[in-house]
Amino acid sequence: MYNTRTRLEKYKHFVDLNYSHFSLLIEAIEAYPHFWNACEKFTYRFRAFMLKTLADMLLFLRSESVGSVNPEREKEFLKPCDEAVQLGFEKSWVDEMRQRVVGRDPNLEHARVIMGELFNRHDYLTEELDSIKAPIGELLKRYYHLTQELHSIKSNTDKSAIKWTPNRLSTIFLKIISNGFHISNPLNLCISVQITSILSNQVNLRIIQTMHIT
């Protein structure tokens, strides 16, 4: 690697080779030594231009793929590919690199557009969901609060409700009689019959027999 880097340093003053370019070129040349052979027969300036073109191709391949490149970026890549062939790099190798970017399914672009729309829709719905979480939380708190109030009211109502037991009816019946209840009145007679039916055997019916009928 040291020898490769040292050789590349000679071309820095001819073209703009940055750290990313150097790293990619070193990696490529270590794997494919024939890249040097393609440059050997040219001048240093021309070699520098070849290496810069190669570095641009490798950098593009590093950052793009069949699934990510768009038509505009594809055109950008085809230019250094054509230049690489013209500069003397093996056409078969350049074509192989080209296919990594442009050799995609014709329906891929349409699928990419649909996926983009779905992602946008997903982001929109996520924002909508986040915006209604707080109101829903407040409504749930209100619901639980009202439910507790309802249970409390029901509990208090059950405790305060009148228990219409036979003993209580008997007491009420005796109070009615003592206040001048007249069975001769048809309505009063009907009420008396109903209460007597409820009291059943627990009310002494002889109370009725001793009543003063007016």
The pLDDT tens digits of the residues spanning 27-76 come to 888 887 777 776 777 787 888 888 888 888 888 888 776 566 677 777 88
Residue 67 in any domain: the answer is yes
From 108, 128, 156, the end of a domain falls on 108
Residue 114 in any domain: the answer is no
* In contact, 52 and 15? CB cutoff 8 Å: yes
> Structural domain of residue 193, as residue ranges?
166-209
Q: What is residue 205's predicted lDDT score, i.e. its pLDDT?
A: 45
For the cut 70, the answer to whether the pLDDT of residue 109 exceeds it is no
* In contact, 101 and 77? CB cutoff 8 Å: yes
Q: How far apart are CA 35 and CA 25, in angstroms?
A: 10
Residue 115 in any domain: the answer is no
From 108, 134, 156, the end of a domain falls on 108
From 62, 83, 108, the end of a domain falls on 108
What total number of domains does the chain contain?
Answer: 2
* In contact, 85 and 68? CB cutoff 8 Å: no
* In contact, 59 and 23? CB cutoff 8 Å: no
Residue carrying the six token digits 């074509």? 95
Residue 12 in any domain: the answer is yes
Residue 8 in any domain: the answer is yes
CB neighbour list of residue 53: distance below 8 Å, 6 or more residues apart: 80, 83, 84, 87
Residue 74 in any domain: the answer is yes
CB neighbour list of residue 74: distance below 8 Å, 6 or more residues apart: 101, 102
Q: Where are the alpha helices (DSSP H) in 10-70?
A: 19-31, 34-40, 44-63
* In contact, 59 and 97? CB cutoff 8 Å: no
Distance of CA 47 to the CA centre of its chain: 53
Global pTM? 0.41
